Structure 1
Amino acid sequence: MKSNFGKKKMSLFPCCTTQKRPSKIKWKKSIKEDNDNKSVVSFSNISFKSDSGKRKFITDEIAKLGKGNITSRIISYHELCVATQNFHPTNMIGEGGFGRVYKGYLKSTNEVVAVKQLDRNGFQGNREFLVEVLILSLLDHPNLVNLIGYCAEGEHRLLVYEYMVNGSLEDHLLDLTEEAKPLDWQARMKIAKGAAKGLEYLHDQADPPVIYRDFKASNILLDENFNPKLSDFGLAKLGPTGDKTHVSTRVMGTYGYCAPEYALTGQLTTKSDVYSFGVVFLEMITGRRVIEYSRPEDEQNLVVWAQPLLKDRKKFIQMADPLLKDKYPIKSLYQALAVAAMCLQEEDETRPIISDVVTAIEFLARKRVEVDEPQPRKEISPTQEEDSNHN
């Protein structure tokens, strides 16, 4: 499914005009560039270093590299023990390969927070900890989670974030319980738009650009209004600069979400994030997890299952999440699947740039569906028998 989507501004929706995007920023939160303050250069260097495995004095490193621009504060281990009731199991709200996340309350600032306790035996070492603190302290956007503080006492590595009351996108999309209320179409498009805008900020406005490298549903957090914020930046890399076309790095991330060229060669570009966005967007449309071994063998990999269906518009309706109960605009479904298909192109040069994806999804997020009325027949292709039975 070849496309020139990534080579020019969005032409998929003729009525949709491309908005002018803000100019690049230099890792701002008032970073000064003079002989005594080279935060950008220093961070670039640390981003490409591998962790030597030796214990580092993280607080000193952050102070040196941040050059006074770090907005998150140092929080003592004792204060975090008090905040989480000694990391009591009843306060645990998440668990992964990185460690555990606890809900806590900081009396000193009267804040409810999420405390991520990194597993000292896990893959996320000092480098990942340092990168996350620097990225979330030096960059600022409504669709990036806010890092309130960190702790690096002795062997302890903890990150303290704003508490996101609605958990992650994964919690509301995949493996729902019978009592859970599924996200409606409009909510899904709103979340996709915000997540794409977070990536756009990292790719197009940070200088040098940031490649997120771990875009997945569990890393998209939701506030009380279901506004999405990207989290977990430990695997992020600074993107290619100058004449370089890619960054070569050890392949890391989550199986199923990695772009094929990155998984095969370790060559990383911003288009690698676009592929991962396509996978998550497909999850949002279909309600299927990227890898599900409980399904028949030919349906276990979401992208492999979707590829033949994406080539036949007659089968698009088969891909819609059954939990939507047919309450979505047919045209929007077609257009959303077209965007997902273009993001999932095997060749990275044929994928869209993220700003074009944002433009497309902004258009989809503006469209509303009247769920109490049947879909108008004029939106249904007369050549598609399956469509004619929709609603």
Structure 2
Amino acid sequence: MNCFNQFKDRSKTRLQKSAPTLKCLSKFDVSESKRETSSCSATPPRRITEIYEEKAQNLRVFTFAELKQATNNFNRLLKIGEGGFGCVYKGTIKPPEGKAGEPMIVAIKKLSKDGCQLLTVVHKVIYRDFKSSNILLDGEFKAKLSDFGLAREGPTAGHTHVSTAVVGTYGYAAPDYIETGHLTSKSDVWSFGVVVYEMLTGRRSLERELPKPEQKLLEWVKQNPADSRRFGTIIDPRLENNYPLSAARKVAKLADSCLVRSGKDRPKMSKVVEALKDIIAEAAACVESPPVKYLEDVEDSPAPAEQMAASIKRRFAHLAKISENLDGVNTRRFMMMQRAKVT
């Protein structure tokens, strides 16, 4: 799925419910954010526009007119999301002339009149703003990552991190990145841990309408850790207590390992993927049998056992796919648009 950037006014309406975007912290000035250290890359991380110059010769460039046609003039009925860099629309594009094939469904970010259009292939990329609202699901509940507007090239060989201005979304950014401006692949691992807990609990990372002790997701789940007797109370109530408790505990512990404060002590995403696959295999075996109630004093679930089992399988499979996609960001090619004039 290809995403196209819109650089629009940064002001946000009060109606938006998404978590606030982090701004550069006051203690990081321009010179400090670009400061070189012995452990970081010798040169500042290249921007997407720079990498495009050397990588984009074999990629298709779309004109604004083509995108306008693909989305039926950016029809509101085709709008599927909105983020800090613009609105995302569902669109259909035709294959290049002379090539057979079905039209491709893509996600298109509406361009402002003076917006930048980029199209590039990126390697060793750190996503930098991984969150649940950037995960798209297709008709078969397959997860796709979107919105690479904040992605940056990772550190070069022999270096542990790149120094950069602190950006992202409050509630998802790793604390070590916020405090130092040092960006590593482990920064994304922290964000993934947050998303895992969102899926387990059915809550967002920050919900201000809840009682104060429950507003911040990570602080709330710490009150009922995976090994505690009341761990089941944090699980999404929509599962109606029909889930393999042992698998849920293991997923929570895996999330905890992603949320270690020191980045160097977090696992690699490849290891997280392997661990999730093992947990999912165990969970799949459990849901084949009749569901079991794990909490006391809970009324019988009105949902059919088959429907609940399918829901559990889908949730775990979705989680595994997300982790694979995030791990693949370090090597996957992704598409954005080349600067063009709008006529």
Partner of 2:91: 104
**Residue 260 of structure 1, aligned match among 163, 167, 175:** 175
Superposed CA RMSD in Å reads 3.1
**C-alpha distance in structure 2 between counterparts of 1:111 and 1:351, whole Å:** 38
Task: Tell me, yes or no, if the aligned pair for 2:189 and 2:267 is still in contact at 8 Å.
Answer: yes
SS of corresponding position for 1:364 = helix
**C-alpha distance in structure 2 between counterparts of 1:222 and 1:304, whole Å:** 28
**Counterparts of residues 199-278 of structure 1 (less than 5 Å):** 209-278=124-193
**C-alpha distance in structure 2 between counterparts of 1:310 and 1:114, whole Å:** 38
Task: Tell me, yes or no, if the aligned pair for 2:45 and 2:154 is still in contact at 8 Å.
Answer: no
For residue 48 of structure 1, report the CA deviation from its aligned partner: 2.2
Which amino acid is 1:303 matched to?
L
TM-score in terms of structure 1 length: 0.57
**Counterparts of residues 73-92 of structure 1 (less than 5 Å):** 73-92=60-79
Partner of 2:82: 95
For residue 63 of structure 1, report the CA deviation from its aligned partner: 6.3
Partner of 1:375: 292
**Counterparts of residues 1-391 of structure 1 (less than 5 Å):** 48-49=45-46, 64-66=53-55, 68=57, 70-71=58-59, 73-107=60-94, 110-119=103-112, 126=116, 130=118, 133-134=119-120, 137-138=121-122, 209-310=124-225, 312-367=227-282, 368=284, 369-370=286-287, 373-375=290-292
In the superposition, relative to structure 1, how do residues 63 and 314 fare at CA in structure 2: closer, same or farther (>3 Å)? closer
**C-alpha distance in structure 1 between counterparts of 2:185 and 2:200, whole Å:** 23
For residue 296 of structure 1, report the CA deviation from its aligned partner: 0.4
**C-alpha distance in structure 1 between counterparts of 2:241 and 2:226, whole Å:** 21
Report the number of matched residues: 252
**C-alpha distance in structure 2 between counterparts of 1:332 and 1:99, whole Å:** 38
**C-alpha distance in structure 1 between counterparts of 2:223 and 2:200, whole Å:** 16
Task: Tell me, yes or no, if the aligned pair for 2:227 and 2:249 is still in contact at 8 Å.
Answer: no
**C-alpha distance in structure 2 between counterparts of 1:62 and 1:353, whole Å:** 25
Partner of 1:167: none
Which amino acid is 2:78 matched to?
N
In the superposition, relative to structure 1, how do residues 308 and 119 fare at CA in structure 2: closer, same or farther (>3 Å)? farther
User: Cα deviation per residue 1:16-37 (whole Å; 9 max; x = unaligned)?
Assistant: xxxxxxxxxxxxxxxxxxxxxx
User: Cα deviation per residue 1:241-300 (whole Å; 9 max; x = unaligned)?
Assistant: 333222111011111000001111111111111100000000011111000001001111
Which amino acid is 1:257 matched to?
Y
**C-alpha distance in structure 1 between counterparts of 2:78 and 2:157, whole Å:** 47
SS of corresponding position for 2:90 = strand
SS of corresponding position for 1:229 = strand
In the superposition, relative to structure 1, how do residues 388 and 335 fare at CA in structure 2: closer, same or farther (>3 Å)? farther
Unaligned runs of 5+ in 2: 1-40, 97-102, 301-343
**C-alpha distance in structure 2 between counterparts of 1:222 and 1:360, whole Å:** 22
**C-alpha distance in structure 2 between counterparts of 1:62 and 1:78, whole Å:** 25
For residue 79 of structure 1, report the CA deviation from its aligned partner: 2.2
In the superposition, relative to structure 1, how do residues 309 and 77 fare at CA in structure 2: closer, same or farther (>3 Å)? same
SS of corresponding position for 2:229 = helix
**C-alpha distance in structure 2 between counterparts of 1:344 and 1:120, whole Å:** 41
SS of corresponding position for 2:178 = helix
**C-alpha distance in structure 1 between counterparts of 2:70 and 2:253, whole Å:** 46
Task: Tell me, yes or no, if the aligned pair for 1:328 and 1:371 is still in contact at 8 Å.
Answer: no
SS of corresponding position for 1:100 = strand
**C-alpha distance in structure 1 between counterparts of 2:213 and 2:155, whole Å:** 37
Task: Tell me, yes or no, if the aligned pair for 1:211 and 1:270 is still in contact at 8 Å.
Answer: yes
User: Cα deviation per residue 1:107-155 (whole Å; 9 max; x = unaligned)?
Assistant: 566333322114578xxx75xx64xx32xx35xxxxxxxxxxxxxxxxx
TM-score in terms of structure 2 length: 0.65
User: Cα deviation per residue 1:91-122 (whole Å; 9 max; x = unaligned)?
Assistant: 2222222111222233566333322114578x
Unaligned runs of 5+ in 1: 1-43, 52-57, 139-205, 381-385
